[in-house]
Chain A
C-alpha cells in the first residue's frame, strides 16, 4: 500500500550544521501524524523539504506516492499548508483572504462560492466576512488560516505549530477541527511542542537535534521507550523531598533517572521501580519527610520524552 507521506533518509545541511539528519517516517492516509520536538529541532525544515520549498541535501520526500522533487507541480494543488507564522494578510478582510487563497489554488468562481460558505461555517466566522483579519483574536485567526489552507479540498495538510500562542480553549477547539478533517479522509501532518497535544495524534514522531528519537502510536512509544517507571509521591514537604531525592540521584545511591515537580506531587523516574520503592521511602523518612501516598503510575508522553531526551 502507498502512504500519504513518506520521508526516506531526509537530510538537510546548512554549512556545517545538520538541521535534519536522516529522518524517516510514513504517514497513513487519513490519520493525524504528530511531529514533535523542542524549538529548533528541525521540524519546520522537515516540512519545508516535504513541501518542496527547500531542496534536501540527501534523501527523498514522497507525497501521495509521488517523489516531491519531480512532481511538485502536480503535488501543490493537492496539498494544503499553514505555515508557522500567521500566514494571512492582516490588512485584508476575512473574505478577501479566503478568496485570494481559493484563487491561488485555481478554484473557479462556482467552486470558490461553495467552499467559502463551508470555510466560514467551519471557522465560525459566518457574518464576520468583512472584518479585518488583524482585528480577530488569536484563536479565530488560527481557524481562519486553517480554513484558507483547506479551501481547495487538499488530500494532505501540513500544519506547522498551528496552536503556538493560542489559549487552551481555542487549542481544544482547533483540535476538534482537525478530527473533523480526518473524518473527511484528509491526512493531517502537524508539528507542535505541546506534549499534551501529542496524545491526540494517531501516530507521531519525536525529533531532537534533527534526529527522530521516537516513532509510533502514543501507546507504542510509551511501552517501547519507557524502560523505567514513574513513582508518584505526595510528600509532606515537596520542596525538601525534591532536594533529598536529587541528592540521592546525584550521589548515585539509587538508580533514579528523573525527579520532577508535578504540582504538590513529585514524580520519580527509575527502572525496576518496585524494587526501589522502599529505598526511596526510607531515604525520605531518614530526612524526616513523610513520603505520604506512593503509587507507580502510567507515564505520560511528556515523562517519556523528557526521559528519552535526557538519555540522549
Chain B
C-alpha cells in the first residue's frame, strides 16, 4: 500500500466532485436534504379518523364506553348505526375507515370480569387508517376498563394491574402518541448514507464506460489502493452529513440526542466504510452507470427501507430474511443510531453491532478487490 498512490486517487476523486458547484452540492447535501423530505412525508399525524358504532348492548355502560372512545381528536364518531349492512355500506363508500361492534353481552361480561366482547372492522384497503383505529380503540378501551372497574376490583380485593398483563397497542408507523419522528429520523440516517455509496459505484462504472479504467489498470496503482482511494472522499462526504443530520434533527424536529456525539460520529464512520464497501462491490461487478444505479437501488436502498428493521421489525420477518438482514450494514447501524439518539446508550451495548459492521466492510472491500478485473479479460 503506497500512500502516494492512494492520495493520487483520492485527490483526483475530490477534483471530480469539486469540478462544478452543482455536483458538489448534489453529492454533499443529498443525504441531509432527502432525510428532511422523508421525515416530513413519513410523519404525517393521523387525526379524526371517522368510525361507525353498532351498539347491540344499548346500556349505560356501553354508551359511556362509546363516548370515551370518541372523546379525543383521533377518532370521530361518524354514525351510530343499527345494522351490519349499514357498516358495510359506509365502508364501501369510504365514509368510515373502521367500525366498532359492541356485543349484546358487553356490560354483563365486563362487570363480571369475563372480558370485553368487541368486534372491530377495518377497511383493509387503507391499512394505515384501519390500524390506527384498532390501535386507538384498544388503547382507549384499556383506559375505560381502568376507570369503570376500579371500584369493583377493589371490593374483590384484586389489584388493578393484574387485569392488564398485555399491552394491546399495535405499533404502527404513524402513531403520533409514539412520536414517530423520534424513531424514523435516526433510523433513516442509514438509508440516506447510502447515497455516498451510490456515488462510489457510479464513479467506478464511469471509469469503465469512459475507458479510463483500462488506463488506470496499466499504472502501478494496485486494486486496493484504487478502491480505498475512491472510498475516502465519499466517507468524508458521509461524515459531513453525519454532522448535519443530527443538527437538523435537534434544531428542526426537536429530537433529543441523548448519547455521545463523538461515539455516534465514530460509529458512523465505521458504517460508511461498510456501506461504501457495498458500493464498490457494485462498481466492480457492473460495467455501466445506468446498471450500477439500478442495482444500487436494489441492493442498498430497498433492503435499507424494508429489511433493516427501520419500519418493519426484523423479528416479524421470515427466518431467511432475518438471516439476510444480518448481512446488511444498515441493520446494525439502525440499532446504533436509535440507541445513541434516544436512550443514549454507549459502546458497552453497541460494540457487537460495530464489530459486525466493520467485519462486513472488510468482507465487501475484500470481495471487490478480489474480483476486480485487474486483468480486464
Interface residues of A (CB under 8 A from B): 12, 14, 48, 51-55, 73, 76-77, 79, 81-92, 96, 100-101, 103-106
Whether B19 contacts A92 by the Cβ 8 Å rule is yes
Stretch of B4-12, B100-108, B140-148, B351-359 lying at the A interface: B4-12
Interface segment out of the listed B55-63, B181-189, B215-223, B297-305: B215-223
Roughly how many angstroms separate A33 CA and B149 CA in the complex, as a whole number?
101
A76 close to B211 (CB less than 8 A): no
Across the interface, which residues of A come within 8 angstroms of B93, CB to CB?
A: none
- Nearest CB of chain B from residue A291's CB, rounded to whole Å: 51
Instruction: Tell me if A87 and B377 are in contact (CB < 8 A).
Output: no
B223 nearest CB across to chain A (Å):
13
Instruction: Assess whether A52 is in contact with B375, with CB atoms less than 8 Å apart.
Output: yes
B221 & A54 in contact (Cβ 8 Å cutoff): no
Q: How far is the CB of A158 from chain B (nearest CB, A)?
A: 8
Whether A101 lies near B219 (C-beta < 8 A) is yes
CA distance A48 to B212 in the complex (A): 14
B220–A106 CB distance below 8 A: yes
Q: Tell me whether B21 is interfacial, beta carbon within 8 Å.
A: no
Binary contact track B300-315/A, C-beta < 8 Å → 1, others 0 = 0000000000000000
25 contacting pairs across A/B (C-beta < 8 A): A48-B214, A52-B375, A53-B214, A53-B376, A54-B376, A73-B220, A76-B218, A79-B218, A83-B214, A85-B214, A87-B211, A88-B212, A89-B16, A89-B212, A96-B12, A101-B219, A103-B5, A103-B7, A103-B11, A104-B8, A104-B9, A104-B219, A104-B220, A106-B2, A106-B5
Q: In the bound complex, do residue A103 and residue B8 qualify as a contact, i.e. CB atoms below 8 Å apart?
A: yes
Docked CA distance A54–B376 (Å) = 6
Return the contact of A91 from the options B7, B16, B214, B215 (Cβ within 8 A).
B16
Chain A residues with CB under 8 Å of B9's CB are 104
Chain A residues, Cβ within 8 Å of B16? 89, 91-92
Taking CB atoms, residues of chain A closer than 8 Å to B376 are 48, 53-54
Q: How far is the CA of A77 from the CA of B221 in the complex (A)?
A: 10
For window 193-218 of B, CB contacts with A under 8 Å fall at 210-212, 214-218
Query: Which of A14, A84, A85, A105 lies in contact with B219, CB distance below 8 A?
Result: A105
Interface membership of B15, Cβ < 8 A: yes
| Binary flags per residue of B78-94, CB closer than 8 Å to A gives 1, else 0 | 00000000000000000
**Which chain A residues lie closer than 8 Å to B19 at the CB level?**
91-92
Min CB gap A249→B, angstroms: 43
Does the CB pair B215–A55 fall under 8 Å?
Answer: no
Partner among A12, A53, A54, A92 whose Cβ is within 8 Å of the Cβ of B12: A92
Closest 8 CB pairs of A and B: A85-B211, A103-B8, A87-B215, A81-B218, A104-B219, A76-B220, A54-B377, A100-B12
A86–B8 CB distance below 8 A: no
Interface size class of B (residues with CB under 8 A): 20 to 34
Closest residue of A by beta carbon distance from B374: A53
A sample of 15 more A-B contacts (CB under 8 A), given A81-B218, A83-B214, is A48-B214, A48-B377, A53-B375, A54-B377, A82-B215, A85-B210, A87-B215, A89-B16, A91-B16, A100-B12, A103-B5, A104-B8, A106-B4, A106-B5, A106-B220
**Cβ contacts under 8 Å, B8 to chain A:** 100, 103-104
For chain B, residues 127 to 162, give those with C-beta under 8 angstroms from any C-beta of chain A. Answer: none
Q: Are A103 and B4 in touch, CB under 8 angstroms? A: yes
Residue in B closest to A14 when the chains form the complex, CB atoms: B377
- For A91, the closest partner residue in chain B by CB is B19
Contact call A53/B5, Cβ cutoff below 8 A: no
Q: Which residue of A lies closest to B9 (CB)?
A: A104
- Whether A81 contacts B220 by the Cβ 8 Å rule is no
In the bound complex, how far is the Cα of B374 from the Cα of A96, in angstroms?
A: 24
Q: Given the complex, which residues of B lie within 8 Å of A52, measured CB to CB? A: 375
Q: How far is the CA of A92 from the CA of B212 in the complex (A)?
A: 13
Query: Which of A73, A86, A101, A104 has a CB less than 8 Å from the CB of B211?
Result: A86
Q: Which of chain A's residues has its CB closest to B6's CB?
A: A103
**B residues in contact with A89, CB < 8 Å:** 12, 16, 212
Give chain B residues whose Cβ lies under 8 Å from the Cβ of A81. Answer: 215, 218
Q: Write out the residue numbers on chain B whose beta carbons fall within 8 Å of the beta carbon of A82.
A: 215
Instruction: Tell me, rounded to whole Å, the shortest Cβ–Cβ distance linking B174 to chain A.
Output: 44
Q: Which residue of B lies closest to A55 (CB)?
A: B375
The closest CB in chain A to the CB of B12 belongs to A100
Taking a contact as CB atoms under 8 Å apart, the answer to whether A84 and B218 are in contact is no
- The distance in angstroms between the C-alpha atoms of A54 and B374, with both chains bound, is 8
CB nearest to A85 among chain B residues: B211
**Which residue of chain B is the closest to A54 with respect to CB atoms?**
B377
Q: Are A54 and B375 in contact (CB under 8 A)?
A: yes
Rounded to whole angstroms, the CA-CA distance of A106 and B210 in the bound complex is 24
Query: When the two chains form their complex, are residues B15 and A92 in contact, meaning their CB atoms are under 8 A apart?
Result: yes
| Inter-chain contacts of B210 with A (CB < 8 A) | 85, 90
Among B1-33, those with CB < 8 Å from A are 2, 4-5, 7-9, 11-12, 15-16, 19
Residues of B within 8 Å of A83, CB to CB, are 211, 214-215, 218
Give Cα A219 to B374, complex, Å.
Answer: 40
**Assembly CA distance A79 to B217 (angstroms):** 12
Q: Across the interface, which residues of B come within 8 angstroms of A87, CB to CB?
A: 211-212, 214-215
CA distance A86 to B215 in the complex (A): 9
Query: What separation, in Å, do the CA atoms of A105 and B7 have in the docked complex?
Result: 12
Q: Which residues from chain B contact A103 at a C-beta distance below 8 Å?
A: 4-5, 7-8, 11
Chain B residues near A91 (CB-CB < 8 A): 16, 19
Contact A77 B220 (CB under 8 A): yes
Q: Are A105 and B11 in contact (CB under 8 A)?
A: no
Taking a contact as CB atoms under 8 Å apart, the answer to whether A100 and B11 are in contact is yes
Residues of B within 8 A of A53 (CB): 214, 217-218, 374-377
How far in angstroms is the closest Cβ of chain A from B257? 38
Q: Write the chain B residue with the least CB distance to A76.
A: B220
How far is A48 from B217 in the complex, measured between Cα atoms in Å?
10
Which B residues are in CB contact (< 8 Å) with A106? 2, 4-5, 220
Closest chain B residue, CB of each to CB of A82: B215
Between B11, B16, B212, the greatest number of chain A beta carbons within 10 A of the residue's beta carbon is seen for B212
CA distance A12 to B375 in the complex (A): 13
Q: Are B15 and A96 in contact (CB under 8 A)?
A: yes
In the bound complex, how far is the Cα of B220 from the Cα of A51, in angstroms? 11
Task: Name the CB-closest residue of B to A44.
Answer: B214
User: Chain B residues near A12 (CB, 8 Å)?
Assistant: 377
Give CA–CA (A44, B88) in the complex, Å.
73
What chain B residues lie within 8 Å of A88 (beta carbons)? 212
A3 to B183, CA, bound (A): 69
